[in-house]
Amino acid sequence: EGINPQEYTGIKMKVQQWADAAKEKLSSDLAGANVYFVAATLRPETMYGQTCCFVSPKITYGIFKMAEGEYVFVSDRAARNMAFQNIFADWGKVEKVGELSGANVIGTVVEAPLSVHGQVRILPMETVKASKGTGVVTCVPSDSPDDYATITELAKKPEYFKIQKEWAELEIVPIIHTPKYGDLVAKTLVEQMKINSPKDAKLADAKEEAYKEGFYHGTMVIGEYKGRPVQEVKDLLKQKLIDSGDAFNYAE
Ligand code: A2H
């Protein structure tokens, strides 16, 4: 990790319906509480295009108290950091009320703030790192090559991943237009670079190119800032999500 802190936006994705495997393991009082999967993102302006939310099937996550009746689903590491960032009501206190493997929450339905799809499923992503962010990644396949490669793989082999195919086939709508790659930067790059696996080493280059092109040359094609440059509206959209209670700042 570098010297400079990484400033993420933590997107609060409220559980609507737990997967059966999760329900069996949760205490009954938690089943009725507000639990949020918190996805760490550097691209809050793309949240219109969320089509699912990824966890690693290999990571064990915790459910931690944020405030009265409010809980977050994140990695242990992220919870320890959050306790010292005014995200939890009790400063410095980490109160873990449950523990679940990522594998147990696949299929859970969560709200996706700003997304045209409203609600999305929790799906598996094998390349999620436990050492970064919250261990929860919201999927925006229009603008993230990693997300596009993963969702494509999931839709190809639903039985292998133990999911329903349609969970991985929500429509990918254009969020940002760029002169070089059109309206679906990630899809275009993945296809042009012939990336056909979420583990392809070329994804590192695709990711950097998508980020630069989207940030420096992108224009919004959806939402209240439609027609305006990404550079101008990124912070405005982040603030909008924070003001509506759908996000918070999270640094590490
Ligand atoms: B980004 P950095 Cl549209 N493991 O959000 C793997 N990837 C993770 C992660 C983890 N534990 N935690 C966060 N991330 C992803 C949106 C997005 C992102 C778009 C385009 C590019 C992009 C939607 N997914 O990231 O190493 C999250 O995906 C490309 C840089 O801290 C987060 O932002 O720089 C980004 O990686 C953080 O990566």
Domains and CATH numbers, the chain: 7-251 (3.90.740.10)
| Whether the predicted pLDDT of 28 surpasses 90 | no
Span from the CA of 28 to the centroid of ligand 1 (angstroms)? 33
Contacts of 156 (CB under 8 A, 6+ apart): none
Mean pLDDT of 16-35: 90
Span from the CA of 186 to the centroid of ligand 1 (angstroms)? 13
What is d(CA 62, CA 190) in angstroms, rounded to the nearest whole number?
33
Atom 32 (ligand 1) nearest CA: 41
C-beta 115 within 6 A of ligand 1: no
Q: pLDDT by residue (tens digit) across 131-177?
A: 999 999 999 999 999 999 999 999 999 999 999 999 999 999 999 99
Instruction: Count how many Cα atoms sit within 13 Å of the Cα of residue 6 in the half-sphere of its side chain.
Output: 16
Q: Which atom of ligand 1 is nearest to the CA of 133?
A: 12
Nearest CA-CA partner of 113 in 250, 249, 243: 243
Q: What is the pLDDT of residue 32?
A: 75
| Whether the predicted pLDDT of 2 surpasses 80 | no
| Whether the predicted pLDDT of 42 surpasses 70 | yes
Residues in the chain: 252
Mean pLDDT, the chain, whole residue set: 96
Residue 31's pLDDT band, with cuts at 50, 70 and 90, is confident
Beta strands in 75-213 (DSSP E): 96-101, 109-111, 119-124, 136-139, 176-177
ipTM comes to 0.99
